[in-house]
Amino acid sequence: MIKYKLQCENLHHFESWFSSSDAYDKLNKEGLLSCETCGSNSISKSLMSPSVNSKEKKPLKEGLKSKPNNEQIILKELKKEIEKNCEYVGENFEKEARAIHFGDSPERSIYGKTTLKEAKSLYEDGIPVTPLPWIDRKTN
């Protein structure tokens, strides 16, 4: 996994995880990345400092947690709204998205899991998909 700091054409900054740099390149080339603030699909990598591990690790005081930043708060709220207003279809995302698109299933908003290959196939067939910034629907 690799984390990139991204920027849209309107200079909004956000971070996202990708399975590889090739995965980022493919998603961006296909226009499948979008700004979480304005929805722009014109995304580029922003300058990012490397993560360096120090040899000496300072333990956090027990019970002390870092305060979430604005992006984390926004993503948590986004996740809550999606879970509240959309149906989770799990591994059946591609099948259900196609069924909705072709009128074989009732129209509604859905989310679930799919592979990069399946997402690309949906996109190529004119079925809109957007990667979501979390993996496990049970995480907070």
Buried b (16+ CB within 10 A) or exposed e, 40-49: eeebeeeeee
In the block, residue with structure tokens 């698109």: 101
pTM value? 0.49
Per-residue pLDDT tens for 56-85?
Answer: 555 555 555 677 788 888 888 888 888 899
In this predicted model, what pLDDT tens digit does every residue of 114-138 receive, in sequence order? 888 999 999 999 998 888 876 454 4
